[in-house]
Amino acid sequence: MTTSHLYCIFNANDPTPTAIAIRSLNFQSVTVYVIGHDSFSEPQRKNLDLLKRWATGSGKEGHWPDGLWDSDWDWPEVESDVTFQLINGIDSDIFGEVQADHFFFDLKGGTKAMSIELMDAANQVFDSPEFIFSNLGESLLLSKGVVLPRGVLALRELTYLASGYVMNPSFVPLREDALAIQTHFSFTQETKKSSETKEIFEVARFSKAFFKSIGKKVPADKSSRNLMEQHFLEDFATSVLSLSETVVEAVGGVRFLDPSFKNSKGAAKWLLGKPYIKKKLEKKGLHKPCMALLTSSASEEENEKRGGAIGAVRNYLHIMEIDVLAILSTGELIGIECKYGRYDHEDVHRIRSICQRLSMRAIPVLVHSKLTSSNPYGVAELSFTEMGNAVELIRLLNTRTLLTSPGIEKAASVSPPSKNKNKTKEIGNEHLAPVNKERNALHCLPLIEIAVVSISSTGGNYSTFKRGMKRLQISMENMDIALAELGQKMGFKTTNKPDTNWIEWDVEDPIELNSADKVINNSESVSHPSDGKVDFHKAIGSLLLLVKSSPRSWSEFLVELRNSGFNVKGLRQRIIKNFADELKFEVVPGDKLVDSGDDWIIWN
């Protein structure tokens, strides 16, 4: 068996890339160069401590009362022999006498200048050093131009490295249960009337038939049922998300603990002092044992005598929590806040800030019970009825936010003179063709917001607004819902008047969902196919039709699908198999796809 050794640079501002490098290729030994340690800032020193602890397989810091730390909060220890070497600069003397058959150099961590210095030094000392660049989910072999797919770090490892918190999930979905939930999912639509504004609006509710088919008991009284459904929404979102092709792991009811008992103890004492928690634990005779556990250093045997105190205390040690957390194959995290009833912009901002605290790679999402998904605050707000396509929809909504910035929107349609293009595009010779298709109003809220402000401030009427939307290629189909969303956020409502008074500003009581509002109509149960494959099929189908009317290159076609979050592996074969007969076309051989420009598809 041959042995391999990895040299890499500690990435001081984010230890995750270094951890990914260490785990990437089963190295027997690893040297991590920590450059300029003496001038590290406090956060950079903390990041180094995080990486060292991560390598041991546990974030546990200092003394914890016996039995209180749960081994489920740990992760597998790094098997490679890792050495951290503090150096002030890189030269050919830093490598030392390491015995191995192969030497790898991961260049992801550190600044560009550091990586170049490491590359130069390695070239001076080693024969054919292998330079790699480990990203989340893949390692690039820089000397060969090849990508090797790799496993990503586990969710608990990534959250620890990014935030320093240890993860304690309360719900991990079983695949068969998740499949049952996805298969049997159905919902009803209810028309509600706001007690405050008297506005009528529609919301979705889990159907009784759905609960029955998955064996979940539905409480008879309304408030208990609402409570159960609110709680179930978290399990539902976690389960359905866990089935997505791009999701590696999804957990629910996630609590984040400070791995130092000294800090966690403070959080627990504060929570145990809350009257409703205190009362709940006192009923079970657990409040005193819990407090004792936090204040004494009892032995394991004594702790066992305290019955469920350890289990109970573990539920209150956290600093913050999140309803659903998932990791994608790209290494991105998705953090979800679930709201079955009323919510407002503060809830949206809260999940955004929790995700920011958690990781720079965390995407915030709010899942609600409205019938449509939108993105008015730059955070995807998803209807739970659309959870089956959650990842694709989140990407779509977030992409639209960028695309609908005022200048970007129009710049996309600016085409430089063709003479210019021909002169400069030696490779590929491709350009984006304008997409002549109206967009869903709900995906263009920032643009509509600007239009509302500018048209209403200049005295424009509703017709002016409609003309503006047409010019911006935004469909009027969901415009009433879009305007209601924006009205809620900006404080206006539409009046149906054709003149300049079509908008009424300073509406004091924004329209919000309220689970206590009166249900005035229950519609029929609506079954919902939650299978992402159906929509992938649809997406390719409609994109192919778009290619027919507005030709584009294979690369552009791939980019459009990738940007929508779809896996494009084996795409040519899939297109031929599923669409060639139906839409009557042929596709050039695989090795000609890129070179054929817009002619990669031949319509018969």
Tell me whether residue 410 or residue 584 sits nearer to other proteins (CB atom). Answer: 410
Q: Is 108 in the site for other proteins (CB under 8 A)?
A: yes
In the complex, the smallest distance separating the C-beta of residue 483 from other proteins, rounded to whole angstroms, is 15
Between 193 and 431, CB nearer to other proteins: 431
Find the binding residues for other proteins in span 459-478 (CB under 8 A): none
Residue with Cβ nearer other proteins (170 or 424)? 424
* From candidates 98, 209, 402, 516, binder to other proteins by CB under 8 A: 402
Residue of 54, 75, 104, 133 interacting with other proteins (CB under 8 A): 133
Residue of 27, 2, 32 whose CA lies nearest to 17: 32
Residue 420 binds other proteins, judged by CB under 8 A = yes
The C-alpha atoms of residue 489 and residue 356 are separated, in whole angstroms, by: 22
Question: Distance (Å, rounded) from C-alpha 5 to C-alpha 126?
Answer: 12
Shortest distance, position 488 Cβ to other proteins, whole Å: 14
Contact status: 285 vs other proteins (CB under 8 A): no
C-alpha 211/C-alpha 562 separation (Å) is: 35
Q: Does 150 bind other proteins (CB under 8 A)?
A: no
Considering only CA atoms, which of 352, 336, 347 is closest in space to residue 386? Answer: 336
- Residue 416 as a binder of other proteins (CB under 8 A): the answer is yes
Binding mask 326-345 for other proteins (x = CB under 8 A): -------------------x
For residues 19 and 408, what is the distance between their CA atoms, to the nearest angstrom?
A: 37
Q: Could you tell me the two tokens for 52?
A: 């060292």
Dihedral angle of Cα 34, 35, 41, 47, to the nearest 10 degrees: -20
> How many whole angstroms from its chain centre is CA 43?
25
- Rank residues 249 and 409 by Cβ distance to other proteins and give the closer one: 409
CB of 138 to other proteins, least distance (A): 8
Listed residue (598, 601, 603, 581) closest to 589, CA to CA: 601
Q: What is the 3-state secondary structure (H, E, C) of 385-405?
A: HHHHHHHHHHHHHHHHHHHCC
Q: How far is the CB of 43 from other proteins (least distance, A)?
A: 15
CA 71, 76, 80, 82 torsion: positive or negative? Answer: negative
Burial of 466 (0-12, 13-18, 19+ CB in 10 A): middle
* C-alpha closest to that of 485 among 334, 340, 348, 337: 348
Q: State which of residues 4, 29, 85, 123 lies at the interface with other proteins (CB under 8 A).
A: 123
Q: Which residues of 265-295 are buried (b: 16+ CB within 10 A; e: fewer)?
A: bebbeeebeeeebeeebeeeebbebbbbbbe
Question: How many CB atoms are closer than 10 A to CB 387?
Answer: 27
Segment lying near other proteins (by CB under 8 A), choices 105-113, 266-274, 332-340, 389-397: 105-113
Q: How far is the CB of 590 from other proteins (least distance, A)?
A: 13
Which residue number, 34 or 140, has a Cβ lying nearer to other proteins? 140
Query: Do the beta carbons of residue 125 and residue 92 sit within 8 Å?
Result: yes
Give min distance, CB of 413 to other proteins, in A.
8
Residue 84's alpha-carbon distances to 20, 46, 252, 539, in angstroms, are: 15, 15, 36, 48
Interface with other proteins, residue 107, by CB under 8 A: yes
Give phi and psi for 592, each to the nearest 5.
-105, 0
In the bound state with other proteins, the residue whose beta carbon lies nearer, of 356 and 521, is 356
Tell me the CA distances in angstroms from 250 to 34, 173, 239, 522, one per residue in order: 34, 8, 8, 33
- Binder among 219, 406, 434, 590 for other proteins (CB under 8 A): 406
Question: Which of 54, 64, 131, 210 is the binder for other proteins (CB under 8 A)?
Answer: 131
- Which residue, 76 or 417, is less far from other proteins as judged by CB? 417
Per DSSP (E only), the strands in 269-401 are: 318-328, 333-339, 362-368, 380-383
Which of residues 183, 223, 299, 405 is near other proteins by CB under 8 A?
405
Angle of helix 287-295 relative to helix 275-283, nearest 10 degrees?
110
Q: Which stretch binds other proteins (CB under 8 A): 114-122, 196-204, 292-300, 392-400?
A: 114-122
Site for other proteins in 352-371 (CB under 8 A): 352
Binding window for other proteins (CB under 8 A); candidates: 87-95, 171-179, 273-281, 408-416? 408-416
Give backbone dihedrals phi and psi of 212, rounded to 5 degrees, phi first.
Answer: -65, -45
User: At closest approach, how far in Å is the CB of 212 from other proteins?
Assistant: 42
Residue 50: count other Cβ atoms within 10 Å of its Cβ.
Answer: 21
Listed ranges 26-34, 45-53, 423-431, 517-525: which one lies at the site for other proteins (CB under 8 A):
423-431
370, 513 contact by CB (below 8 A): yes
- Asked if 527 is part of the footprint of other proteins (rule: CB under 8 A), the reply reads no
Cβ at position 177, least distance to other proteins in Å:
34
311 binds other proteins (CB under 8 A): no
Q: Does 435 bind other proteins (CB under 8 A)?
A: no
# of chain residues touching other proteins (CB under 8 A): 53
Site for other proteins, rule CB under 8 A: 107-108, 112-113, 115-116, 119-120, 123, 131, 133, 140, 142-143, 145-147, 345, 349, 352, 377-378, 402, 405-412, 414, 416, 420, 424-428, 430-432, 446, 449-450, 453-454, 490, 555, 558-559, 562, 594
